[in-house]
Homo-oligomer: A and B are copies of this chain.
């Protein structure tokens, strides 16, 4: 609690973040950087940064918070949110479930034996591909541009672009996602052109962000849809709560349960090493460290979030 009082004095929060980066830096030497495409394999495993942003407009950071990395699955909550805005809650969850699976992010299982043919949740790849099919747009490019614009709006960074070489490399190796797309067509969940859907997926996954960008997106979710700069509501509260909840139960894949116990906050990880973490009503957090644990979550990033949650009593439980 003393730490939290320190928190009120900005300079000391910065001290705390720096301390946590220092204490957890050794974790960057464990685990391994994603290597399924050369562009990701090139990431420096020593990079380690954190950025926190509060509703009162206070920003703190430490380490390599300025590094650019591809957003990867951290985009999933955003795409879900846009799909909810485009279609409403009922229409979205007709196509995808809300249940955690205890399975890896790239599991191809769907509700086996169920009368409802739909992926178990929107945080797994097979669920996300389904969600992409619900994004409005007259063609594939417009759909992507709408997601990019939405990402710019929530991150407050209007210069976001995507990494062309990561995109092309993902596209050339993304056969598992194609398999999921065709399976979804086969079971009647989607009608769209699979190659187009996975193309959006690969482009969105390649959007370049920093810890600050995802911290601010997290803050909009923590604020339940209030833009932190204008104070205006840009997303209905109930939609942000749905997304936060699904991040809690499904956001860290088959490590979601342990993350919930140890950190106690909704979060979403990506294979490039980013984690976006939400402290409802209080804060958005972005961390980045490319070396991953065996479940595909940033190892040092997770450890830092555990320590930060403990030090500042952030758990919502």
Contacts and interface: CB of A to CB of B under 8 A. Distances in A.
Q: Is the interface of A mostly helix, strand, loop or mixed?
A: helix
Contacts of A260: 98, 245-246, 248-249
Interface stretch (A18-26, A65-73, A181-189): A181-189
Contacts of A100: 99-102, 249, 256-257
The 8 closest A-B pairs by CB, nearest first: A179-B182, A99-B257, A100-B100, A176-B186, A244-B317, A98-B257, A179-B183, A178-B182
Nearest to A222: B317
A307 interface: no
Nearest to A221: B317
Nearest to A250: B257
B261 A242 contact: yes
A72 B293 CA distance: 37
16 contacts: A98-B257, A98-B260, A99-B100, A99-B254, A99-B255, A100-B102, A100-B256, A101-B102, A102-B102, A112-B113, A175-B182, A179-B183, A245-B264, A245-B317, A248-B248, A249-B256
Nearest to A187: B176
Given A179-B183, A246-B260, 6 more contacts: A98-B258, A100-B102, A100-B249, A108-B108, A175-B186, A248-B317
Contacts of A185: 175
A4 to B, nearest CB: 15
Interface string A78-91: 00000000000000
B246 A257 contact: yes
Contacts of A108: 108, 183
A245 B266 CA distance: 12
A186 to B, nearest CB: 4
Given A242-B261, A256-B249, A280-B317, A186 B182 contact: no
A100 B121 CA distance: 13
Interface of A: 97-103, 108, 112-113, 120-121, 175-176, 178-183, 185-186, 194, 241-242, 244-246, 248-250, 254-258, 260-261, 264, 266, 280, 315-317
Nearest to A99: B257
A266 B317 contact: yes
Which of A241, A249, A254 gathers most chain B CB within 10 Å? A249
Contacts of A186: 175-176, 179
